[in-house]
Amino acid sequence: MTVLGCERFRVPPDHSPSHAKLMSNYDEVPYPDFIHPATHPGNMAAIARLHGVNAPPPESCRVLELACGPGGNLISLASLLPLSQFEGIDLSAGHVKTGNTMIGKLGLTNIQLHHGRIEDWMTEAESDEDRFDYIIAHGVYSWVPEEARQAILAICQTRLSANGVALISYNTYPGWHQRQMARDIMRYHAEGIEDPQTRLRHGKALLSSVAQNVPQGSAYRVALEEELKALEQANEAYIYHEQFEDTNRPRYFHEFAAEAGTHCLQTIAEADWGDSTYEQVRPDVASALASLPKIRRAQTLDFFRRRTFRQTLLCHQSVAVSEQLQASAMESMHFVTSSNLQGDQITGSNGLSGTVDHPATQQAIQHLVSQYPTSMSFEELCSVGESQEPVALATLKADLFNLVCVGLVSVSASPTEACREVSSHPRATDLSREQVLLGDTVTNLRHQPIRLDDTTTHLIRCCDGETDHANLIESMIAYATANGGLVDGDQVVTGEENLRPLVNAKMASNLQRLAAMALLVG
């Protein structure tokens, strides 16, 4: 058995050729520092608890991320859950260095990133210290050779705490059959080309040429055009690794569940809430599906949805997992909603709508809406207005459960503490203020990525908790003057005399927007 400690993370000098290639690929073309909201322990715990699993408290847990890339996902989680401990491991030295630089800048002490191979973590846990409450393996299972894939499952088996929850993402069929066609065309055409950008360019060029030269309206053309459209919308480094790496092995959900079973693990549900609902199928089909056994039902739903990607939650086989969602889990949850309640009509920002009949629930939801983006616990919601009455309490629980199930209210097992009121000296999160120095995407207090325009990026940089509104206005005017003005509707406003009234008029609403995006802490 390997001795625990730093030894475990050492990269052995005798890499197999495939590992050396993978490592150089990721060092050569670093993977984008993506945030995966579903990997928040608060989300993983909420879904597990809804299925009857007594998942550990996210506020004081231990989290391991396998193949953490440049660490952005884990760093955001570590800053959101300061009393929890986080460890990440990645094969790319470049990725780990990038992550450690950010950790140093933020002064985080609850996170460690290690340069090493997943395979080297396949050691038995010797004590609870070696176990993790949450294990995340995002963007790796389908993309690594068999040995690493087995290691991911083995680590979940041996290192997950008794009621711990793992999340493994993977490409899946049937959706990937079509995607694979595009991948094969691109890879074939780019064979022998070394330079990643040239490979990408050549691959896409052939795909596009084939798409344009097959009969219009044919199923083949429609499929290729769909894939080209998806490529146009995606980040180039992401496309490179997804489409050009040697290994990309999608699997059916039922195959994944069977693989997990060989390591005494069972599936709980999808981590992306709402991703397993029946919305897209007819009611008669939905009721036929509902009568199927769990794995068969989920697999069949994938056929209806032509699913391409899964983020599946797992736990030990010894844990009792309920197929029926447990409304009682609402009592330990925190709620947040960006929906709008008018009378008894609730409308979500996603276009969904519903009815809230009971006055006590209406009052509670109205209050919840007013608190956005801060969350409220079940207990707090119970003390709003009339809901203390036992009957109203039961109704509130049932109503909340329904609203969560249809996606009009979001749920988490940990709170979101964002600043809703803009203070005299606004302060953006430390993480977002570091992130805007590197690019245009920041992570908010709900662990969601948000892409910003240039001016908002500058505003975040200035929101340091020491600058008042008057000085923020001056800074914005100076920034706009130096950068060719500000866009207002379809006009570009230039010159200090024109910029001043515009910035004056818009500062309050722009700061309020930062608050609504859950980016302010003071």
Ligand X SMILES: C[S@@+](CC[C@H](N)C(=O)[O-])C[C@H]1O[C@@H](n2cnc3c(N)ncnc32)[C@H](O)[C@@H]1O
Q: What residues make contact with ligand X under the rule CB under 6 A?
A: 22, 26, 31, 34, 67-69, 89-92, 95, 117-119, 138-140, 143-144, 148, 241
Contacts of 280 (CB under 8 A, 6+ apart): 304, 305
Angle at 73 between CA 72 and CA 77, to 5 degrees: 110
Query: Which is nearer to ligand X, 31 or 273 (by Cβ)?
Result: 31
- The residues pairing with 487 across neighbouring beta strands, listed in sequence order, are 492
ω into 283 cis (within 30 of 0): no
- The residues pairing with 316 across neighbouring beta strands, listed in sequence order, are 265
- Write down the least CB distance from residue 35 to ligand X, Å: 8
Residue 377 carries which side chain, given as an amino acid letter?
Answer: S
**C-alpha span between 293 and 70 (Å, rounded):** 39
SS3 assignment, position 7:
helix
Query: Which is nearer to ligand X, 241 or 334 (by Cβ)?
Result: 241
Query: Which is nearer to ligand X, 4 or 325 (by Cβ)?
Result: 4
Contacts of 75 (CB under 8 A, 6+ apart): 99, 102, 103, 106, 108, 111, 431
- Write down the least CB distance from residue 148 to ligand X, Å: 4
**C-alpha span between 299 and 249 (Å, rounded):** 17
Query: Which is nearer to ligand X, 21 or 469 (by Cβ)?
Result: 21
- Write down the least CB distance from residue 517 to ligand X, Å: 22
- Write down the least CB distance from residue 262 to ligand X, Å: 19
Query: Which is nearer to ligand X, 119 or 133 (by Cβ)?
Result: 119
Query: Which is nearer to ligand X, 49 or 199 (by Cβ)?
Result: 199
SS (H, E, C) 42-53: HHHHHHHHHCCC
| E runs forming strands in 228-308 | 265-270
Query: Which is nearer to ligand X, 140 or 382 (by Cβ)?
Result: 140
Please state, in angstroms and as integers, the Cα–Cα distance from residue 64 to each residue in 39, 148, 419, 515, 519, following that order: 11, 16, 29, 31, 26
- Write down the least CB distance from residue 69 to ligand X, Å: 3
- Write down the least CB distance from residue 66 to ligand X, Å: 7
Residue nearest to ligand X (CB): 139
- Write down the least CB distance from residue 21 to ligand X, Å: 10
